Structure 1
Amino acid sequence: MTDNSIRTDLFSPTQMGFIHLANRIVMAPITRSRYGEDGVPGELHATYYAQRASAGLIIAEATNISAQGRGYAATPGIWNEAQVAGWKKVTDAVHAAGGKIVSQLWHVGRFSSTQLQPNGEAPVAPSAIRAEGDTYTTEGFVPVSMPRALETSEIPGIIEQYKLAAENAKRAGFDGVEVHSANSYLLDQFLRDSTNHRTDEYGGSIENRARLTLEVTEAIVKIWGNERVGIRLSPVTPDAGNTPTDSNVMAMYGYLIEQLNRFDLAYLHFVEGATATSRFIPEGVDLDVLSAKFNGPFIGNNNYDLEMAIERRAAGKIDAVAFGRLFIGNPDLVERLRRGAELTIAPRESYYGGGAKGYTDWATGNY
């Protein structure tokens, strides 16, 4: 076995804002679809996250900020007291195990079904453009529903949903929050001209399309302080309905990142390529140029292996690396990577749904 800590500083402590990381290995947010319809975490989830607390930072799975923000059954929420109490069990368990954990705040926007929305209402979006694909409900997989365009007068209410979720995350004991402005969900839908055809102050120009992400970030920073807020972006991923990219990725996300710099955030978390599928980058797009515009720590994400992480860290392209699927079957992933030990590849059927099997029953040690 190889002690990889000799070759890289990925296993050394670092700082992101006020969050101290024991190493530069981050657990990416991984939807596991193991919650009831109430979206309340319990002891099973506390065990799952505590088992992975050796990660320098855990970014908890995407968490619905409101009943309106939900797009998939069996996903967690953070908009009511029962959910806050459930997450407190999780954060207490992670902290007892010596870890750090932040909450990823999620509104899916158009990628939902009327079966998942309060009173069977249509999902909301920047514009009434239907996404492609199916989503998971209690009735099984169903096509996503036609959304309705948010009225300009409703936008402050969306920001209030984010504010409430951020306040709840603080009460639940998280170490910080991550603004989910990626993967073609609501905030990303506002950013892209492929999904935003508005003619008000939230549509049209790059400055207008970036407005909601910046206003949400500003509101959350006022609650948490800039040193405990990060943001996730995915400039070219087609997730959540095979969403086309913006017509000018470099200009759109370059402007956004430059504007985000005024908040002096704890970190920027980037999906490099198409989430969980490939690192393909369209012609004319350079994600390294975009990430270099950010004035703080940068977390690289998407189909990394250790060698790629070491190489990109040595070249100064990343400050930390996020692994997702590898954390499913390897709760002790950090130590396995450090020792050069064999990794367990979890089968896809263990990813979503079910109980403890394939969730908290993975072996550790025996390196």
Structure 2
Amino acid sequence: MTTASLFDAYSLAGPALHLPNRIVLAPMTRFRATKDGSPLPFVADFYAQRATAGLLISEGIWPSRRGQSEWRIPGLETTAHIDGWRRVTDAVHNAGGRIFAQLMHGGRQGHPLSRIAGDIPAGPSSVPVPGPVHIRDGGKADPPLPRTMTRADIRVAIEDHAAAARGAITAGFDGVELHGANSYLIHQFLADNTNLRDDRYGRNSTADRIRFAVECVTRVAEEIGAGRTALRLSPGNPQFGMHEADPLPVYRALLAELDTLGLGYLHLTDAERPGVRTGETPFPMLADLRPGWSGTLIANVGENGEATTRSVGEKILAEGLADLVSYGRAFLANPDLPARFALDAPLNTIEEDTLYTQGPEGYTTYPVLAEALVRD
């Protein structure tokens, strides 16, 4: 047990960032990008509004068009992308905030009608996602059969992450989080049913199954520094048809390989699954993996279940399961979430029907507490 509170300051050692609290904005896809993948102008407003968080993590950003999973998701490949994100990071820093970019390579996720290149996506193995899938501007289609990545494809994907990480730092981000969770490329290499390879990136060997994740994280750390590099994982998360029958041995081995690198943080999602929210260990992945990670750990526990509350976040910190706690839905609807938590003030209700539209409504239009009280 510890006495840590959500409102205690924290030092993120790698990029030497002083966090005024331990409340983190979780990365969430919102589809507020142009057709070429540049963030729309009001994206800067969204993140600046939430700059009182200890740390902001951006929505998932594809590192190259080879990793684009859906239409109107932003990228970090071109000069236009970097310029667009520079406006975002400048707005955040001017508001006193700190922000990491999440690099999200879709792997098998995607459809030719939702990709700028119009090509078939590629993953560790030719295993399609459960259908139907979203395509550009609101349509749906049957999922394509993804290509199996060659060894050359794997090397290109790793270098794409390194190039995008370098672009993120050029754009003013304080660091980069690699998306190794929620069914995206790194997770696909870790999971049972999406990695059927018989080479050194698969087989039935744990060392081979974690190889892509280790090489990708290591390469990014070489490019921008380990302290500016982070990783998100979601052991056992079943989203988008993922299956991991016994995830803990795989993730223990992965953490053992990465712990010595001195990464900025590990972002661990303890996703809700049948039976894991009962008994004496409500967060089994955190409880098992926390002792194997010596650096900063951010916990996210609202995935697939009820939104995380202040009290749940405090419990996680008090039990020593994490150093910081990330919030998603509560932060979307409440740009001043830390202040509301501190005052035990009521929260705005999220507008579900505007989550994935392209305008500012339901994105930058949520009131802060003073405005909400006036409206009431």
Which residue pairs with 1:323 in the alignment? 327
Residue in structure 2 matched with residue 298 of structure 1 by the alignment:
297
Deviations along 1:316-340, one digit per CA (max 9) or x if unpaired, are 1121110001111100001000110
Q: What is the deviation of 1:12?
A: 1.7
One-letter code of the match for 1:316?
Answer: G
CA contact (8 A) 1:72 1:135 kept: no
Q: Which amino acid in structure 2 is aligned with residue 108 of structure 1? A: G
Equivalences for 1:75-94 in 2 at 5 Å? 75-94=73-92
Kindly provide the amino acid, as one letter, of the partner of residue 6 in structure 2: L
Q: Distance in 2 between matches of 1:243 and 1:266?
A: 27
Q: Does 1:14 find its partner at 2:10?
A: yes
Match of 1:56 among 54, 57, 80: 54
Q: Residue type matched to 1:169 in 2?
A: A
Tell me, yes or no, if the aligned pair for 1:11 and 1:23 is still in contact at 8 Å: yes
Tell me, in whole angstroms, the C-alpha distance in 1 between the residues paired with 2:162 and 2:278: 35
Secondary structure of residue in 1 paired with 2:250: helix
Per the TM alignment, residue 286 of structure 1 is displaced from its structure 2 partner at its CA by: 3.0
Map 1:1-367 onto structure 2 (within 5 A). 9-17=5-13, 18-117=16-115, 119-138=117-136, 140-204=139-203, 205-239=205-239, 241-245=240-244, 247-274=245-272, 280=276, 286-287=284-285, 288-303=287-302, 304-366=308-370
> So what's the TM-score if we normalise by structure 2?
0.91
Whole-angstrom distance in 1 between the partners of 2:128 and 2:168: 31
Q: Contact conserved, 2:333 with 2:366, CA < 8 A, in 1? A: yes
Q: Which amino acid aligns with 1:223?
A: E
Instruction: Output the CA distance in 2 between the equivalents of 1:151 and 1:356.
Output: 41
Task: Name the amino acid aligned to 1:32.
Answer: R
Provide Cα deviations, 1:114-148, integer angstroms capped at 9, x if missing partner. Answer: 21345432110101111103332225122321101
SS of 1:120's equivalent in the other structure is coil
1:347, CA displacement in angstroms?
2.1
Gaps of 5+ in 2: 303-307
Instruction: Judge conservation of contact 1:328–1:346 (CA < 8 Å) in 2.
Output: yes
SS of the aligned residue for 1:68 comes to helix
Q: Distance in 2 between matches of 1:9 and 1:50?
A: 24
Q: Give the Cα separation in 1 of the matches to 2:238 and 2:97.
A: 32
User: 1:8 offset after TM fit, Å?
Assistant: 5.4
Runs of 4+ in structure 1 deviating by more than 6 angstroms, as ranges, are 281-285
What's the CA shift for 1:13?
Answer: 1.1
> Is this contact kept in 1: 2:195–2:202, CA < 8 A?
yes
For these two proteins, the number of residue pairs brought into alignment is: 357
Q: 1:294-353: CA deviations, max 9, x gaps? A: 111111103221111111211111211100011111000010001100001212112111
In structure 2, how many angstroms separate the alpha carbons of the residues matched to 1:159 and 1:312?
33
Which SS does the other structure have where 1:156 is aligned?
helix
> SS where residue 49 of structure 1 aligns?
helix
RMSD: 2.0
CA 1:282–1:350 in structure 2 vs 1: closer, same or farther (change >3 Å)?
Answer: same
Report the alpha carbon displacement of residue 279 of structure 1 after superposing the two structures with TM: 8.5
**CA deviation after TM superposition for structure 1 residue 362, in Å:** 1.1
Query: How far does residue 177 in structure 1 lie from its aligned partner after superposition?
Result: 0.4
Which structure 1 residue ranges, 5 or more long, are not aligned?
1-6
Contact preservation (8 Å) 2:191, 2:242: no
